[in-house]
Amino acid sequence: MAHIDAAVKHYKRGQSEPDQTLFTDVVFRCNQAFEGSVKEAYRVLAGKDPSHIKPHKIEEFLSEADLLRKKVLDQFTRYRTEWRNPSTHDYTLDFDEDEGLMAIVSVTVFAIVLCDQIDGKLAFDAAAEPKTSQSNSTIEQNEPLLDVVADTLAKFAGEQIQGDTAVHDQSTRHYFHVAGTIAGYLSSELASIPRVDVKQGQTFSERETDIVVERVSDTGVAERIVVELKISSPRGRSLPRQYIERNAVQKAAFFLHLPDVNGAVVFLYSGNKRHYRVFDAAGIPAEKLRVVAPALDTKSQRSDDAPAG
């Protein structure tokens, strides 16, 4: 971010001084910010040391390695195409005030969405670390993956508010950090099941998922469960529960029509709720979708059926 701050200072000087080359300096500073960002992405997302790798090699790797989430890749490609490559390969280019501003905006947006993904990846890695004491896992190897994922998410929610490693305040922090923690927890808890992989940000039919749990059978057939995640803050206002649930179910239902997806779990996570329940969604086959949500604190709560509406 220091390079972006320097770019802004050059930009302000260019507005107040009769030196138009300052706006070209703005773009060069933005390029340095871009280069630093992609190096950090290479370090965290790819798990590789960027120290002795040329910047353009890192950029080529990130553009092809399927590591960046769609919106991050879009901003990466936009800045690289519109600013980084032209200014690097043509040293005769000069940039004006408008172009300097656009370069600052472009690299800042890229840095923000990239930091979101990096934050989530760090949270994933921390949560996925092997436990010092093995948990009492009761997962049956042949249990339906849909049920395994739903039950594990309910377990996560209960543990986080009760245990020493509680993250119930995370829902007031950053969405991607919480999502990374949840995905990492799934990865850790399901590690005992052969050929299970937990991924974030996978795209199916041009729509990005929050979390995907994949199990590959002995014959090489992949079973995929999509997790549609909704995180609500324990503080402040929130949309009505039924609206959030209905919207999440509709989003999850889209993936159920795709041949690559076998089931979906809607996870309504609130950091200050202790008790969660797993139930079926109205209008969706039980073998296709589960909802994991806080138990309603009302006398009219129905125990196992789907909520009205």
Domain assignment present for residue 206? The answer is: yes
Residue 298: pLDDT band with limits 50, 70, 90 = very low
**Pair (69, 110) in one structural domain:** yes
Looking at the fold, whether 201 and 275 belong to one and the same domain comes out as yes
| C-alpha span between 168 and 177 (Å, rounded) | 12
Amino acid making up residue 118: I
Do 90 and 172 lie in one domain? The reply is no
> How many domains would you assign to the chain?
2
Distance between CA atoms of residues 229 and 208, nearest Å: 12
Tell me the per-residue pLDDT of 229-284, one tens digit each, with 9 for 90 and over: 998 765 556 678 888 999 999 999 999 999 999 999 999 998 777 789 999 988 88
Please indicate, yes or no, whether residues 153 and 285 belong to a single structural domain of this protein.
yes
**Running DSSP on this structure, what letter comes out for residue 171?**
G
Specify whether 236 is located in the same domain as 201.
yes
Task: Please report, as a single letter, which amino acid is at residue 274.
Answer: R
Which position has the token pair 């399901």? Answer: 190
**How many residues belong to the chain?**
309
Asked whether residue 158 is assigned to any structural domain, the reply reads yes
**Residue 119 — φ and ψ, nearest 5°?**
-60, -45
Domain boundary among 94, 125, 156: 125
Are 160 and 40 contained in the same domain? Answer: no
- pTM value is 0.84
Residue 143 covered by a domain: no
User: What confidence tens digit (pLDDT) does each residue in 195-233 have?
Assistant: 999 999 999 988 999 999 999 988 888 999 999 999 876
Query: Is residue 257 one of the residues assigned to a domain?
Result: yes
Tokens of 146: 């849909």
User: In the structure, what pLDDT confidence band is assigned to residue 308 with cuts at 50, 70 and 90?
Assistant: very low
Which pLDDT does position 138 carry in this prediction?
60
| Range(s) of the domain holding residue 11 | 2-125
Does 307 fall in a domain?
no
Element (DSSP H or E) covering residue 68 = none
Check whether residue 203 and residue 276 sit in a common domain.
yes
> 261 and 187 in one domain?
yes
